[in-house]
Amino acid sequence: MAVAQESLIRPSKSGKKNSSEEVIHQQISDAILEQRLAPGTKLTEESLSEIFGASRTVIRRALTRLNYENIVEIRPNRGAIVASPSTAQARQIFEARQIIEEAVLRACVQKHSESDVAVLKNLVQAEKDCIARNDRIAWIRLTGDFHLEIARISGNEVITKFLKELISQTSLIIALYGKAGGSLCSNDDHSEIVKAISEHDEQKAVTLMLAHLDECIASLNMEEKAETQDLKSIFSGE
């Protein structure tokens, strides 16, 4: 059985039928984004059925949705696995983030309210708390929420949806290519960005944001993992 019961947690009453597609989708998504399910893990419909006490039909719907969100890969006749973006895709995803986040940040600097800044400051504080108590999982989530909040403030839901997708995929990328020990991005880039926003300094905010995202890519080691495991070249002594 590919999926261990423990890694999907929270079956609520340990009973059945608490779970609709919505809930199941969320649970699997969380498990992936919090890196309890590693990229490449097989997601068997039957196993998930038992774990969530739902019929395969419902599981299937949840998996297709995760597939559309590029969090899960469905290979025809061969089932679903947790997606593992290639280095090329990873680069494109970060590139896309820079494009979208620059635009979204400019709008945010323009039209943010007092309370928007307050929300952002709270998020940054929460991030610091996580780092303090070494809660990597909560921190990863919050770091995403921070970027997403800026998009929300910008007011364009279409773009926000795109960014949300990109941020999810970033979690996968970090799971795959993040340096093991590295407490990456732990410095407070985020607070500086909030400062620039609250001072209405658009150019500074953008510069900081782009540099921040560049740092993120730089903190990954995307060279080591081969595109496709080419055993020949590995053993040919090169």
CB of 232 to a second copy, least distance (A): 28
Selected binder of a second copy within 12, 44, 49, 89 (CB under 8 A):
89
For the beta carbon of residue 39, count every other beta carbon within 10 angstroms. 17
Span near a second copy by CB under 8 A; candidates 41-49, 89-97, 116-124, 225-233? 89-97
Residue with tokens 């995202």: 213
Per CB under 8 A, does 96 bind a second copy? Answer: yes
Choose from DNA, a second copy, none: what does 184 bind? Cβ within 5-8 Å by kind.
none
Enumerate binding residues for DNA (CB under 7 A). 1-2, 17, 20-21, 42-46, 54-58, 60-61, 74, 76-80
Q: 193 to 222, contacts with a second copy by CB under 8 A?
A: none
User: How far is residue 109's CA from residue 62's CA, in Å, rounded to a whole number?
Assistant: 37
**Listed residue (56, 43, 61) closest to 1, CA to CA:** 43
What are the start-end ranges of the H helices in the chain? 21-33, 45-52, 56-68, 87-111, 114-132, 136-154, 157-177, 189-198, 202-218, 231-235
Per CB under 8 A, does 26 bind a second copy? Answer: no
Name which of 156 and 198 has its Cβ closer to a second copy.
156
Selected binder of a second copy within 93, 130, 140, 150 (CB under 8 A):
93
Element housing 74 (H / E): strand 72-75
Choose from a second copy, DNA, none: what does 93 bind? Cβ within 5-8 Å by kind.
a second copy
CB of 231 to DNA, least distance (A): 13
Per CB under 8 A, does 64 bind a second copy? Answer: yes
Dihedral pair phi/psi, residue 127, rounded to 5°: -60, -45
Name which of 54 and 104 has its Cβ closer to DNA.
54
Residue with tokens 């970090």: 174
Name which of 37 and 163 has its Cβ closer to a second copy.
163
User: How far is residue 27's CA from residue 5's CA, in Å, rounded to a whole number?
Assistant: 12
Name which of 80 and 124 has its Cβ closer to a second copy.
80
Selected binder of a second copy within 36, 61, 164, 195 (CB under 8 A):
61
44-82 b/e (C-beta count within 10 Å ≥ 16 → b): bbebbbebbbbeeebbbbbbebbeebbbbbbeeeeebbb
Binding site for a second copy (CB under 8 A): 61, 64-65, 68, 89, 92-93, 95-96, 99-100, 103, 156-159, 162, 166
